[in-house]
């Protein structure tokens, strides 16, 4: 009777240091995950990092959040102008009253997010709403916080990602308000998009929480979140759903923008990640639209 032979185990994968191809290793950089040899291992708070990642981290630390970018047009400043222009239009169209208390009709006519109108086909309101405000105090507070955190986010992620975070995050903030708020909602304001920028700021500092400066930024961020939660409880008119939606979107976008690994892999991950977030937002809009259109009397409004 022939003896049964078990199959031989697969040969172990032999990896070599990416900087020294003649040296075998089983250790990987905890940041980029490339194999590194003992000569390339630099102790990190968790495991080891390679010289390139350590050099990049040092450059980030020296630059630090908030250091202004040189050259070209600042996206933060351009977006501030994009917020200011519609407010000027509000005053021109609505008169002096719009400076402190614009009417609901004025805001609706200029593009406020109103669920029934959106479900009726006016999907552009999901974007225009983030550039309108209820009076000078509203726009001033949003502009101030955006100026504080926008410069920091733009300095570490770059102009393209800053624009993506604001627009995609603002869109998802409007989607959250549209999908989970009452159908009587009339929503305006850049706060959802600013919450996305703030979320990206948190994501950046969380990944670098081992340093004292980034840990301090995180503690400050927690304080800001708690204060905003208290204000939302005190003032029911605040659209907290948009704030939460923007914050979560910003966290996800911040992690995508700060992803590590080979350049090609990073590009694929970032594209797929942003596309997934946008697709998720579109899917939620489709679901909510079908739900609102099924309400009694909707056909009479948009027949």
pLDDT greater than 50 at residue 255: yes
Q: In terms of Cα–Cα distance, which of 228, 236, 234, 220 is closest to 191?
A: 228
**pLDDT tens digit string along 278-302?**
999 999 999 999 999 999 888 777 6
In this prediction, residue 303 carries a pLDDT of 57
Establish if 70 belongs to a structural domain.
Answer: no
Tens-place pLDDT, residues 101-155: 999 999 999 999 999 999 999 999 999 999 999 999 999 999 999 998 999 999 9
Q: In sequence order, what DSSP letters do the residues of 78-123 get, joined into one string? A: HHHHHHHHHHHHHHHHH-GGGGT---HHHHHHHT-B-HHHHHTT-T
- Residue 56 placed within a domain: no
- Examine residue 191 and state whether it is found in any structural domain, yes or no: yes
Outline where the chain has alpha helix (H).
Answer: 51-63, 75-94, 104-110, 115-119, 125-128, 136-157, 159-180, 191-206, 212-234, 240-257, 263-293, 298-301
For residue 4, being part of any structural domain is answered with no
Output the domain CATH number for residue 225: 1.20.1540.10
Q: Is residue 101 part of a domain?
A: yes
Domain that holds residue 269: 75-301
The model's pTM is 0.76
Q: Is the residue at 266 inside a domain?
A: yes
3-state secondary structure of 25: strand
User: In this structure, is residue 19 part of a structural domain?
Assistant: no
- Domain assignment present for residue 136? The answer is yes
How many domains does the chain divide into? 1
Grade residue 258 by pLDDT with cuts at 50, 70 and 90.
confident
């Amino acid at each position: 009777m022939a003896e049964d032979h078990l199959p031989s185990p697969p040969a172990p994968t032999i990896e070599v240091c990416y900087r020294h191809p003649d040296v075998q290793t089983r250790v990987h950089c905890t940041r980029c995950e490339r194999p590194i040899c003992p000569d390339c291992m630099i102790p990190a708070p968790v495991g080891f990092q390679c010289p390139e990642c350590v050099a990049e981290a040092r450059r980030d630390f020296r630059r630090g959040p908030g250091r202004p970018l040189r050259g070209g047009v600042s996206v933060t400043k351009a977006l501030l102008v994009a917020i200011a222009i519609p407010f000027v239009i509000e005053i021109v169209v609505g008169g002096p009253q719009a400076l402190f208390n614009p009417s609901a009709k004025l805001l609706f006519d200029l593009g406020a997010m109103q669920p029934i109108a959106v479900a009726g086909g006016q999907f552009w309101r999901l974007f225009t709403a983030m550039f309108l405000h209820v009076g000078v105090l509203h726009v001033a507070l949003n502009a101030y916080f955006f100026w504080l955190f926008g410069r920091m986010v733009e300095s570490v992620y770059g102009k393209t990602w800053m624009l993506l975070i604001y627009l995609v995050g603002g869109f998802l903030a409007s989607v959250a308000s549209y999908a989970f708020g009452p159908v009587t909602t009339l929503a305006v304001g850049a706060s959802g998009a600013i919450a996305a920028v703030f979320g990206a700021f948190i994501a950046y500092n969380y990944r670098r929480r081992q340093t004292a400066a980034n840990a301090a930024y995180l503690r400050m961020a927690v304080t800001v979140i708690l204060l905003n939660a208290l204000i939302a409880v005190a003032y029911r008119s605040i659209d907290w759903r948009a704030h939460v939606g923007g914050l979560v979107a910003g966290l996800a976008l911040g992690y995508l923008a700060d992803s590590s690994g080979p350049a090609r892999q990073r590009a694929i991950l970032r594209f797929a990640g942003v596309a997934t977030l946008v697709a998720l937002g579109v899917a939620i809009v489709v679901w909510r639209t079908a739900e609102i259109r099924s309400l009694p009397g909707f056909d009479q409004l948009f027949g």
